[in-house]
A and B are shown apart, each in its own frame.
Chain A
Amino acid sequence: MSEHSLQTTRRYFLGQCTGVSVGAMALHAMGQQESVGLPQLPHFAAKAKRVIFLTQSGGPSQLELFDHKPGLMQWAGKELPESVRNGQRLTTMTSGQKQLILPGITKFSRHGQSGSTISEWLPHLGEVADDLCFIKSMTTDQINHAPAMTQFLTGHQLPGRPSMGAWISYGLGSMNRNLPDYLVLISKMQRPSDQPLYDHYWGSGFLPSRYQGVKLRNSKDPVLYLTDPEGLPRHLRRGMLDGLAEINQMHFEQTQDPEITTRIRQYEMAYRMQASVPELTDLSDEPDHVFDMYGPDSRRAGSYAANCILARRLAERGVRFIQLFHPDWDHHSRLPSWCSARCRDTDQPSAALIKDLKQRGMLDETLVIWGGEFGRGVAGQGKWDSPEAGRDHHPRCFTMWMAGAGVKHGTTYGATDDFSYNVAENPVHVRDLHATVMHQLGIDHERFTFRSQGLDFRLTGVEQSHVVKGLIA
């Protein structure tokens, strides 16, 4: 039967058009929505067709990875001057102790023609330095994980707002009728994480729930309930869905409720996803040299590295917003073993994703973002001069990088003070980042609103936010 009966069904509905304007128009309208998003978007020509957001959850240390402060050596073990701290709130984990300075413990070197400083823990990233735009002056308002991550992804510290991916899939719609517009991939880790990844991080908030991120799981069912039970062959499912559609259609004739036609379409989409998702998540057709490029971990399903390959496959299939989460960057202690472990997980695959997209000619239209919800403080947590030392959360400054899609590559934007404590020049608030990402997608963040509870909401909220021109080529 395959798609045949669906086509018949569609023709049937459209044939009814003259007599049944409501249902037919609804069907027509929905068809449009599914392909093009909001009619007024994009506001202007887009540089990016899609986004791959490599979310590093827990707060990676800018001091160990990117923000090189050789001058700190002379401050080692000394108390952070109050003039620098300037009233910054601490978490209750360290608010009771002296703020003794722990200089970055890694070696840095310059990479590429741009000469970006990158830590020894990220050797592969250095190879693509000239494709990256580092933002060293990121800043946020929140100091604890859940509120900070919620703000980082939804623009507001409290749950309930749509995530960036949901906004974008709502606004721009889908480029693939067999897959959802917004997909989420989470690294599979052995260790229980201290920071759960709440589903509101990719939630749709007050937007219709069809725009929420769909999590691709690393299990038999990459999407919940996707797989038919064993013993139910595909052609029987097809027959059952045909029977279902026929009876639903009889009922539509009687009730004229357009929801019924939508339901028929959604059952068909479900059927198509049952084929398209396993095809997508099965990496066995990728050649060896791809796995070699992404590193040994990429052969292990569910790893960050394997998810990076999946992200590229999703990009190839036209998925609009692809978001990876790599947990466990919350390094309150033992930076040498703990922080370096997360670097090891992510360095090679992140760099490989950039190379891979570039080789395939896709980097120009794909915006890649790397970063976490905040940074880490210059004071050591625990005994500062022991390898046991770690760092507490720090919202005032942190580093992110972006690549592709009209981003100014081979460059570093913004700077922190000598202590990597305050932003010294060109601050980029999380809101500014949101505005800039929207801009690359052809959206004016001020004009992209949704009315809920009587208010016009937007991702960037009510406070001032700007597209950061210095990040754009």
Chain B
Amino acid sequence: MFSGVSFGMFRQMFKSLFPFLIVSAVQAEPISFSRDVLPLLSDNCLTCHGQDESHRKADLRLDTQESASEVIKSGDLIARIISDDPEEIMPPPKSHKPKLNTEQIDTLKRWIAEGAKWGKHWSFEKPVKVPAEGNPVDFFVKAKLAQKGLKLSKAAPEHTLKRRLSFDLTGLPPSSEQTVDSLLASPHFGERMAMWWLDAARYSDTDGFQSDATRTNWAWRDYVVESFNANKPFDQFTLEQFAGDLLPNATPEQKIATCFHRNHMTNGEGGRDKEESRIDYVIDRVNTMGTVWLGLTLGCTQCHSHKFDPITHSDYYSLNAFFNSIDEDGAAGTAAKPYLSYQSPHAKRAVAEAQQLVDQRKPIEGKARQEAEKPFAKWLSERQSNVKADFKAWHDVRGLLESQEGTELAQDKDAIVSASGPNPKQDDYRLIAPIKLPRITGLKLEVLPQDGVLSRGKTGEFILTDIKVQVRRKGSSQIRDILVSNAVADTKIEGKAREYGDVKGTLDDDPRNGWTTKGFPKDQPHTALYALAKPLVLDSDEELIFELRHRSTNGDANIAKFRLFASDQPGPAVRELAPSTLEQLAKGHIEKDRLMAQFLEDHAPYQTAKASLDLATAQLKEVTTAAGKLNVMVLAERKEPRDTHVLVRGVWDKKGDVVKRDVPAAIAPWPADLTRDRMGLAKWLTSKDNPLTARVFVNNLWQMFFGAGLVRTPDDFGLQGQRPSHPELLDWLAVDFMEHGWDVKHLIKLILSSETYQQASNQTDQADPTNLLLSRGPRFRLPAWMLRDAALQSAGLLNSALGGPPVRPHQPEGVWEEIFMGRFTYEPSQGAAQHRRTLYAFWRRSIAPTFLFDSAQRRVCEVSMTRTNTPLQALTLLNDETMMEAAQALAKQMLASPNDRLQLLYQAVLTRQATPRELSVIQRELDRALTHYRDHPADAAKLKSTPELAAHTLIASLVLNLDQAMTHE
């Protein structure tokens, strides 16, 4: 029974994957060259017998009628395919391509028997609108289904349809009564479309590559959102992005539009040849145009003529010529001209929002400071009576001594450590000591003269390249590093970062810099203070390890004599060399301001308020800068156009023949009246004679709403791509789109009002496993960005403001720091800015936002969707801070309602009522959680919750993680 079912299924899958084979086997229709024969030739023959001259074998071409006619007529073509002789058989064994099967051979034989009619690949033929009755989508889909004896599924339930429409058109779950028209009119429509366009445009807030510098191109994102919201015709949208700068009386926004072609990565790596980079950028533009407008893998022709599609090596560089005279020089960072200096109207709102947050937090900080006065007075009077005249802020450290390379170290009664014995070129000293202080806030290192000099080296100068502070527990194998946040010394040396001098060089593990007191008296002691990032509390069985590394380039500069102290005093005491406030106090000097500062440093309520204010202030400063004039990368022609050469094998400095601006004739001719510039190129792309652009656009939209395109390789409409499942439908929509002046909303409405779109998505019918025939509605996991937006919206947290500078949603600590070894740090946005839509999330090219999965990487253009299903995604949706915030906000809503709490949760997240079976499961888990948290209120407290809130939060998280909550149904 099982095998019977599976056989049927395989047959279906086989059919859907290789429709042409089945069709040819049925012998009903005559052979179609483009449908049946060309794919066979392309898959099996054209690698060696295509238009790419450099890889052509036996001087034989099978990609044109003329050149193939001889072997067809002579019978050689079939003879070689069916031969048993390993020397004769085609494709040859060493190509690793399997032999053609009987059906394939039969197809070729029949084609020849029917006269070997030649034709073009389908996508290079102009689309034609064949008559359709009623909604064209339904007309063609039903016709195809009827051929297979199938019908459309019944309509999806109302709540499902409501969600489907809302997600498709705004990327958000439904909030109220919505119609297709109201959704299309929503400002969130533009945001939803923009997310797709930004992926295709490889938009990012940073350059990428090694330096990955920040750029300020977000005004272009706002241009995209506004364009979609204004329903700008796609030909106009194209024209502005290709050539906004060349338009007569161009507005600043039209110039900003050209940033589309500057969104590529820019490489500022040291040692990089700028001209090579510049050529890379030109190539990236052509490849992106190929994918987004033409659906062609033009990148293949960078190095050689296309093996499959009728695009030659020289065609490729003729396209490059349109972009080769931009006034740019390949630089990155802040030198990536041309720029437009632009002040965005969208940043004001962000400034007001940030100001509001500062205004809100300032009085809290003020109040906290005021409230600290009283405990400060108490603390001061206690200190005044307790601090004895012999009070010491610093306590000497005594312990075990070790050296790596053999220096002998010994500590005397004054805790001074002296070096003797062997004197290696480089050495590491370690002092390992238990420290009997309530806590450690900093360490003081005194380097002392021995025989009038500071080191054991010839010059008498020491070089301390690095220090390490670590903690070891007795009996444990593990050592942990303690972070030192600051270093100061009594010798101030201005120097380059890679020189010996400044004591801060001892903190970075880099042996090329470090502390030396060269130039200061050698017969005097010198002092360095190290402040720990956080006070360190040692357990009784823990020891501190202080390591002094002498690993300088020339060596021979090991310290001769030193002493180490530790302090438990906060703030200035471990950051400034001046005597500490309490030492002063002990001597009778009351320095009230410094004392207060020191007190506040340890006063947690004040520190919390201050940290929160500091973050808000930093955010205000950032958005205020963003509200001023910013440089946006745009296109502009240079005065002297550059010559464009064919690049031999695609290598940037191997220049071949000079080429002029032109387009591949195989796609569409160049209209006679157009100027040979980017404006002309944009108009050629959207000309009625161009067979690709409208089809590719329709297909991308289709993919957005159905989870897969009518052509399932949205980035490849060429010979190696898949054929459309419904060619007449694709063509009908493409022609209609052009006839309606490239009206995007019109096209969308046409598709979404079809019965096909509105079908239920249940997969009860096995006849169409991959839904190639569209016998049911689309069911697929929503993109990760929609999941975040939906959770925020359901929980009532979403800040639905439009436009402006990027924000930084929650992300686990340290991810940027790890990649850049600390060069960039990520500070999540504060207040309402935290809950903006994901579209506005800061995009660092080297590390995309961690909470997004299966998203485009934005390094190069991407239009195909990936949808995987992994444990890492499960972990993200369970534990991401935003998801937890949303769950808690939902729990609060539930608790605020007197009854029907679980139904309220279902309604908020899934837009429907829970079934009794679902309710019983949810209730059971809620009860279990309630019992636990009531019995263990401490666990609830860890979640900053009451037992009720904690339990309801867990249940809200459960519902947010349901398959239905994350699925386009």
A-side residues, CB < 8 A to B, are: 17-18, 21-22, 25, 91-94, 143-146, 158-160, 180, 186, 188-200, 203, 208-210, 214, 217, 219, 221, 223-233, 235-236, 239-240, 242-244, 246-248, 250-251, 254-260, 262-263, 266-267, 269-270, 273-274, 283-284, 286-288, 291, 299-301, 327, 333-334, 336-338, 340-341, 387-388, 392-393, 446-447, 449, 453-455
Contacts and interface: CB of A to CB of B under 8 A. Distances in A.
13 contacts: A21-B9, A22-B763, A144-B272, A197-B819, A230-B943, A236-B954, A243-B921, A247-B918, A255-B761, A284-B477, A336-B554, A337-B512, A453-B297
A421 B879 CA distance: 52
Contacts of B963: 248, 251, 259-260, 263
Interface in B85-101: 96
Contacts of A225: 812, 872, 875-876, 878-880
Given A250-B918, A392-B271, A233 B939 contact: yes
A247 B924 CA distance: 12
Contacts of B209: 146
B866 A208 contact: yes
Given A191-B508, A251-B963, A254-B762, A266 B869 contact: yes
A209 B870 contact: yes
A329 to B, nearest CB: 13
B925 interface: yes
B642 to A, nearest CB: 20
B812 A196 contact: no
Given A197-B819, A199-B847, A333-B512, A300 B551 contact: no
Contact of A231 (B9, B876, B940): B940
Contacts of A227: 879
A210 B853 CA distance: 11
B955 to A, nearest CB: 8
B821 A146 contact: no
B334 interface: no
Interface in B855-870: 857, 859-860, 866, 868-870
Contact of B821 (A228, A247, A301, A327): A327
Given A217-B818, A226-B879, A240-B954, A454 B762 contact: no
Contacts of B544: none
B146 interface: no
Contacts of B718: 454
B781 A251 contact: no
A411 B466 CA distance: 38
A337 B425 CA distance: 11
A66 to B, nearest CB: 22
Contacts of B512: 333-334, 337-338
A199 B852 CA distance: 14
Nearest to B926: A243
B820 interface: yes
Contacts of B479: 299-300
B958 to A, nearest CB: 5
A244 to B, nearest CB: 5
Contacts of A259: 779-781, 869, 963, 967
Minimum-distance CB pairs A-B, first 8: A454-B720, A91-B271, A231-B942, A190-B509, A270-B874, A337-B511, A269-B871, A270-B871
Contacts of A94: 271
B476 interface: yes
B854 A209 contact: yes
Given A18-B2, A454-B297, 5 more contacts: A192-B822, A255-B763, A260-B963, A299-B477, A337-B553
B224 to A, nearest CB: 24
Contacts of B846: 196, 198-199
B961 A244 contact: yes
A73 B451 CA distance: 40
A430 to B, nearest CB: 17
B958 A240 contact: yes
A243 B921 CA distance: 6
A304 B928 CA distance: 44
Contact of A454 (B716, B766, B884): B716
A126 B814 CA distance: 37
A93 B300 CA distance: 32
Contact of A144 (B2, B269, B476, B955): B269
A21 B766 contact: yes
Contacts of B872: 214, 223-225, 270
B210 to A, nearest CB: 6
Contacts of B1: 18
B569 interface: no
B266 interface: no
Contact of B878 (A214, A270, A327): A270
A40 to B, nearest CB: 12
A274 to B, nearest CB: 8
A242 B924 CA distance: 11
A94 B272 CA distance: 11
Given A208-B866, A219-B813, A286 B477 contact: yes
Interface string B781-804: 100000000000000000000000
Contact of B210 (A196, A209, A230, A274): A196
B962 interface: yes
A279 B371 CA distance: 46
Interface in B625-668: none
A192 B823 CA distance: 6
B762 A232 contact: no
Contacts of B929: 236, 239-240
A177 to B, nearest CB: 11
Contact of B509 (A191, A254, A260): A191
A284 B478 contact: yes
Nearest to B552: A337
B133 interface: no
A453 to B, nearest CB: 5
Of the candidates A92, A217, A446, the one having the most CB atoms from chain B within 10 angstroms of its own CB is A92
Contacts of B477: 283-284, 286-288, 291, 299
B950 interface: yes
B386 interface: no
A233 B932 contact: yes
Contacts of B6: 21, 25
Given A186-B818, A219-B814, A284 B476 contact: yes
A283 B880 contact: no
A456 B854 CA distance: 22
A240 B720 contact: no
B486 interface: no
A190 B507 contact: yes
Interface in B492-549: 498, 507-512
B580 to A, nearest CB: 28
Contact of A455 (B96, B720, B939, B954): B720
